[in-house]
């Protein structure tokens, strides 16, 4: 009689894992499918070729230099942040195919660099690159 009670207790103690595995596989498929459609937001950055001569690029392009204290310089002249767009528009009107090259100092803030890039795009120049100083 004790053997029959032990056998019935063993059968009651088993857990069927099949439904749990089904749920896990369905969740795995769901996460794989949804992960492929996630797109991260970012900025397209065009950097000049390493083989390109920087002095030749300065003659052909509109170079905007940003100093370590976030002072902006266009063609050797100090410019206020509010007049960057007007200066780029004027230089772009002189040479329409000239790209804008932003040269930020490593200690300058990213906010000023992004503002300069935004002003360049608002001025109608969509070929904006970032170059190291």
Domain ranges (residues) in the chain:
2-35, 54-130
pLDDT at 35: 77
The pLDDT value given to residue 101: 92
| CA angle centred on 91, ends 87 and 97, rounded to 5° | 140
CATH T-level assignment (fold) for domain 54-130: Nucleotidyltransferase; domain 5 (3.30.420)
pTM of the model: 0.57
Are the CB atoms for 119 and 85 separated by under 8 Å?
yes
Mean pLDDT of successive 10-residue stretches along the chain, which has 133 residues: 55 78 92 74 63 54 91 92 93 90 92 92 90 79
């Amino acid at each position: 009689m004790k053997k029959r009670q032990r056998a019935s207790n063993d059968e009651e103690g088993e857990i069927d894992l099949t439904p749990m595995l089904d749920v896990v596989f369905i969740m795995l498929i769901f996460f794989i499918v949804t992960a492929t459609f996630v797109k991260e937001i970012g900025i397209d950055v065009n950097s000049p070729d390493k083989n390109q001569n920087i002095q030749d690029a300065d003659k052909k392009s509109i170079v905007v230099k940003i100093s370590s204290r976030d002072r902006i310089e266009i063609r050797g002249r100090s410019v206020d942040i509010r007049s960057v767009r007007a200066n780029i528009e004027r230089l772009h009107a002189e040479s329409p195919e000239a790209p804008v090259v932003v040269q930020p100092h490593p200690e300058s803030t990213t906010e000023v660099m992004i503002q300069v890039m935004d002003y360049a795009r608002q001025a109608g120049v969509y070929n904006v690159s970032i170059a190291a100083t």
